[in-house]
Structure 1
Amino acid sequence: MASVTTVACPTCEKPVEWGEQSPSRPFCSERCKLIDLGAWAAEEHSIPGEPDLNDVFSGELNS
C-alpha cells in the first residue's frame, strides 16, 4: 500500500494530496495559484541573492 503525500497549500495552508488528482499542486486551487503569482508580480516575494553589480557601481559612474 502506497502512502499518500500531503502538503500544505503555500497560500491558504489547506492540505493538498500530491498527485495527478491535484493539477494545481502544490496549491489547492487555480485561485491560490493566481494569488501567489500576483504576489510575485507585485514583488511581495523575492529570492535573496547578491546585489546587482550595475546598482553597486552606478553611483561611481555618475560622479
Structure 2
Amino acid sequence: MTTTVKCPTCQQAVEWSDKSPFRPFCSKRCQLIDLGDWSDESNTISTPMKSGELTPQDAESLIEDIEAMLAKNDDSFFKE
C-alpha cells in the first residue's frame, strides 16, 4: 500500500516513496516556495521551545540524527 500526502505548497497528491525525491513537496518549485516562506518569516514555529524542554541526551540525539541525514545527502538540492 502506498502512502499519499498533500504537497504543503500546492496541495497536489504526492506519493511518499523514493519515486518522489522532493517529498513531501511535489516538485523543486514547491520546495523552494516553502523555503522562501520560512526565510521571509511568513512561516514560523507556533510555540517557542523553552530552555528546559530538551534534556542533554535529547539534544545529542537530535544532533546525531541531523549529522546522519547530512552525511547521506548527495547535495543535489543545491545543484539543480
For Structure 1 versus Structure 2, the TM-score category normalised by the shorter chain is 0.7 to 0.9
Give the Cα–Cα distance (whole angstroms) in 2 for the partners of residues 20 and 35 of structure 1: 22
Which runs of structure 1 show a deviation greater than 6 angstroms over 4 or more consecutive aligned residues?
none
Unaligned runs of 5+ in 2: 51-80
Q: CA RMSD in A?
A: 1.3
Give the Cα–Cα distance (whole angstroms) in 2 for the partners of residues 5 and 22 of structure 1: 11
- Structure with bigger helix share is 2
Deviations 1:2-42 (A, max 9, x none): x0100000000000000000000000000000000000000
Provide the aligned length of Structure 1 versus Structure 2: 49
Unaligned runs of 5+ in 1: 52-63
Identity of aligned residues (%): 55
Whichever of the two has the greater Rg, that structure is: 1
Structure with bigger RCO (C-alpha 8 Å, 6+ apart): 1
